[in-house]
Amino acid sequence: MFLAGQSTSPRTLNLEMSHSGFAFSLPGRWTAALDTMDLHLLDYSEPGNFSDISWPCNGSDCIAVDTLQCGHVPNKSVLLYTLSFVYIFIFVIGMIANSVVVWVNIQAKTTGYDTHCYILNLAIADLWVVVTIPVWVVSLVQHNQWPMGELTCKVTHLIFSINLFGSIFFLTCMSVDRYLSVAYFASTSGRKKRLVRRAVCVLVWLLAFGVSLPDTYYLKTVTSASNNETYCRAFYPEHSVKEWLISMELVSVVLGFAIPFSVIAVFYFLLARAIAASSDQEKQSSRKTILSYVVVFLVCWLPYHLVVLLDIFSVLHYIPFTCQLEAFLFTALHVTQCLSLVHCCVNPVLYSFINRNYRYELMKAFIFKYSAKTGLTKLIDASRVSETEYSALEQNAK
């Protein structure tokens, strides 16, 4: 929402840069280098910071948008440095938790539940998402600068985007699979269902790649001639910058939240009605677990996408773009983006660690891997008891 192409004030910036998106690379909103996540604003706290940048666009690219003159410029440093520590925490927890899930699923001879195909791919996707976090933090602590080159920008964004979309899609597929397995395909052979699940996983990765590719393609690095500062931004085709921006943001909202959440909510609701349990207490426990799947997804992702929609409305002039709104969007987008990545830490707990069968496999993998002669491994196998919620959710999914 700035006058593009030249800097006549501290708040007049190129539209492509001011709206290039999340620091991380989801379409549209997730494509700015971490200022990260300077979605609306670049480094507007430093007047003239971008006036001498040689933009990779001509006059038709750099279209005029709203120009703001705000007397008070907020200090972003406290927020950005605080978020850097939070991201490092997410990185550490996410790396450990998802690595354990991947390792145990690969090591285990039996899993106790057949949707481990989705859970394994989910953990792999979440693992790759958190692997990219240190790169974003390097940019974040430098107030949006990208010193790592254009190739690194494109590759890192592509890896992040593919795996983030993949994570969301695998959660969606798991909800559908669990309901269909219980309600319609309980008698279908396990081998046939395994083949279907593997095919679905391949299709999910292909879809995630396809959705991630367009925005990554338009990422470029630009450098300021006066201070040699480099930034990574998406530069969309000329004559349609605004249209591309809004389209990419809407793709992010629709494919990243609206459709997945609707499917997850509907199919887990149907599953809660269809589950068979041996007692009312077991059924109640199963339904609480199902509810937690829906609530966690909603809490992690709804705030971010609501703020993105607010930003889209401001671009379309449905709501006036003021200095107060700009300051709110900057803070809200940063905070809600951080919240959304907490999902990468919660997924291993929610879909793996609460399953007793999985915990048995974890014990076997870490403690009794080299203790076959002691008979402890066989003792655990003989005494396995299905976890309450998974006995209802998974026993018919095999």
Could you write out the three-class secondary structure of 223-287? Answer: EECCCCCEEEEECCCCCCHHHHHHHHHHHHHHHHHHHHHHHHHHHHHHHHHHCCCCCHHHHHHHH
pLDDT in tens, the chain (398 residues): 222 232 333 333 333 333 333 444 333 333 332 333 333 333 333 333 444 444 444 444 443 344 556 666 667 888 889 999 999 999 999 999 999 889 888 876 555 456 778 999 999 999 999 999 999 898 888 877 888 888 999 999 999 999 999 999 999 999 999 999 888 876 666 678 888 899 999 999 999 999 999 989 998 888 877 677 888 888 888 788 888 888 899 999 999 999 999 999 999 999 988 876 656 677 778 888 899 999 999 999 999 999 999 988 888 888 888 888 888 888 899 899 999 999 999 999 998 877 766 666 666 666 655 555 454 545 444 444 444 344 455 554 45
Can you tell me the distance from the alpha carbon of 165 to that of 125, in angstroms, rounded to the nearest whole number? Answer: 9
Residue pair 150/10 in contact by the 8 Å Cβ criterion: no
Distances from the Cα of 149 to the Cα of 230, 237, 244, 339, 359, angstroms: 8, 22, 24, 28, 43
Of 163, 156, 253, 249, residue with least CA distance to 208:
163
Q: What's residue 62's pLDDT?
A: 44
Q: What's residue 316's pLDDT?
A: 86
Q: What's residue 76's pLDDT?
A: 80
Residue pair 33/139 in contact by the 8 Å Cβ criterion: yes
Q: Exposed, middle or buried: residue 306 (CB in 10 Å: 0-12, 13-18, 19+)?
A: middle
Name the CATH architecture for the domain at 77-220+236-352+389-393. Answer: Up-down Bundle (1.20)
Q: What's residue 72's pLDDT?
A: 65
Of 116, 124, 120, residue with least CA distance to 94:
124
